[in-house]
Amino acid sequence: MNDSELIAKVRGSMHGQILSRGYAAPVDVLMDIGALSKEDYEAWRRGKVDYLERVCRMNLHKLSTMMKAVRAYARENGLKPSFTGYNQWGVKGRSPRLRFSKSDDPGIERN
C-alpha cells in the first residue's frame, strides 16, 4: 500500500469511527486498516506484548505516515485531542501503563 492509499484508509477509518461513536482512536485506526489484529491488540492490553509497535504489521515509516494522517484529519475536522492512557488489563490495584513504541519516547507515547 502506498502512502496515498494509506492516508485514504486512515481518513475513512476516522470518518467511520466519528460517525458511529463520536470520536476516533489511533489503535482502532490500526485495526481498521489491517495493521493490527484484534488478537495482538488484546495481547498488548494484557501485558503479553511489551510495546504496540512490535505487533503492528507496518513499518515505522508507514506508522509515522498513519499518525500524521490521523492528526491532519483531526485538525481539518475541528477535532480536539484527548490523551488516553492505556493500562494493562487484568491487574488488581494500579494497572501498569502500556507502551506504544520501542523507544518509549514521550513525544511518541503522547501522540
Q: Please report whether residue 93 resides in a domain.
A: no
Domain span at residue 14 reads 3-79
Burial 34-66 (b: 16+ CB within 10 A, else e): ebbeeebbeebbeeebebbbebbebeeebbebb
Q: What is the pTM of this model?
A: 0.88
Q: CA 20, CA 83: separation in Å to the nearest integer?
A: 20
Residue 30 lies in a domain: yes
Domains in the chain, number: 1
> Which of these ranges, 26-35, 53-62, 95-104, has the smallest mean pLDDT?
95-104
49 in a domain, yes or no? yes
Instruction: Identify the pLDDT of residue 26.
Output: 93
User: Would 108 be classed as within a structural domain?
Assistant: no
